Chain A
């Protein structure tokens, strides 16, 4: 199983100043699989993402990306191994145009940003990649627009375009639907579905249950920093422990 796993969490724990934030979280996500992460507020969903992406280093356990132990690797090193993430709060660069936002992401992949001698201009490879990614999320018509003035849904799409430009194997989406107007939801769902269909492994935190259950292969339920269950949406919804812990007494 391990060689087919894009992401493995092995008994991951995190203690901050005596407080137990994550405890003994273990699960595997197969290559190409889409897994949703749910749980009440404070269950440790975002912390889990931070541990996977390297913002936080776990105090126990291991994190494996494509079979490689990345537990103590830094954020940008994990990104180079093929991990990409979006954040709960919109994190585009508001003062840069949509094209520049994606171009920046493309640069990190192409290495243009790491060689001081390469000074590409408009019309180079990174910009071509940027335009292709913008096209993929249907934002090409906003290429020259400052990201700061885009609608919330478009900002989310832009984030996904930036993610695509780094050609990640494993994608972490942290509440992609948060704050998105109801009119933009369908378009965004379509973009996420396409992301998954293109063969990428997706891990997604989302409170919008209807959207989540319709998209994912499996659902992981977090509660008090522990993994309560991980199974198909149907099985998880039927699980009595999940119903009591997360969804209340009755559903």
Chain B
């Protein structure tokens, strides 16, 4: 029982990390039709810069970590917004070219990060409590999972409030459904594109700092490896659906944890099979809209 509980909660914790990356991917694809392969780079850069600033404020302290998270959030949002303005916008309505640009950015940035911070991951110091565990009904849950789950929950609530309660949120929700019609109403959706990129980048940036907490290190390839899972999550959840991304994040991570533990480390195979199954039964994903 305690093993199941442990796998479940650690799974949700990993899912929280996936969600931080997948939420932006899903929103960006839903609104703009662009699969953003540079999303992992936002995460990696935010992870590095968050760590660099955080350790100077207080290495291994809560203050350092919180400042690092804030830096990651801002860096992610800024880099994403700049990417949209400089690389995506000039290729408006040319989806293939937009995707190719993001692929190029993704590859080039990893090389750049390796040049600056080296090819090997760097071990980082964290507040002591995060290295400990909490007993939940006999299961020793690593404390860092609580931070991950809490942050992702706050991000989810904030994005939902933004989408449901604000003018821009309404424009974005409408744009996900029918971008042409939003333009016909006299609304310039391109500004919404930049905002969605910034929000997605902010979440990924936060995810970058939290990924370093989860793995205990920062590395040039952290974003790339998480991006693969985030893509799977996004497709399973339904491209463009935030709720779908949230549900699929948890689902994928929990399946992964259980398969790794009970089926001899087959977590990655299990989620690829899950992806195939979802695509066969519901090609638009769990919460995806039927395209018309």
Which residues in A have their C-beta under 8 angstroms from that of B168? 113, 116, 119
| B290 CB to nearest chain A CB (Å) | 10
Number of interface residues of A (CB under 8 A): 31
The answer to whether A61 has its CB under 8 Å from any CB of chain B is no
* Interface-lining segment among B139-147, B171-179, B254-262: B171-179
Q: Given A104-B187, A107-B187, A108-B187, does the pair A93, B167 have CB atoms closer than 8 Å?
A: no
Indicate which residue in A79, A105, A126 contacts B167 across the interface (CB closer than 8 Å): A126
Which residues in B have their C-beta under 8 angstroms from that of A100? 170, 173-174
Which residues in A have their C-beta under 8 angstroms from that of B99? none
The answer to whether B185 has its CB under 8 Å from any CB of chain A is yes
Closest residue of A by beta carbon distance from B189? A76
The answer to whether B281 has its CB under 8 Å from any CB of chain A is no
Indicate which residue in B166, B185, B195 contacts A119 across the interface (CB closer than 8 Å): B166
The answer to whether A121 has its CB under 8 Å from any CB of chain B is yes
Q: B89-119 vs A: 1/0 string, CB under 8 Å?
A: 0000000000000000000000000000000
Contact A113 B177 (CB under 8 A): no
Which residues in B have their C-beta under 8 angstroms from that of A103? 170
Closest residue of A by beta carbon distance from B195? A116
Which residues in B have their C-beta under 8 angstroms from that of A109? 186
A/B interface sample: 25 pairs, CB < 8 A: A75-B184, A76-B184, A79-B185, A80-B186, A87-B181, A87-B184, A93-B173, A94-B177, A95-B173, A95-B289, A96-B170, A96-B177, A100-B170, A105-B185, A107-B170, A107-B187, A108-B186, A113-B167, A113-B170, A114-B188, A114-B191, A119-B168, A126-B167, A166-B185, A166-B186
5 closest Cβ pairs, A-B complex: A79-B186, A108-B186, A112-B167, A119-B166, A108-B187
Q: Which residues from chain B sit less than 8 Å from chain A, CB to CB?
A: 165-168, 170-171, 173-174, 177-178, 181-188, 191, 195, 289
Known: A107-B171, A109-B186, A113-B167. 6 other contacts (CB 8 A): A75-B183, A93-B178, A104-B170, A104-B171, A116-B195, A121-B165
Q: Which residues from chain A sit less than 8 Å from chain B, CB to CB?
A: 53, 75-76, 79-80, 85, 87, 91, 93-96, 100-101, 103-105, 107-109, 112-114, 116, 118-121, 126, 162, 166
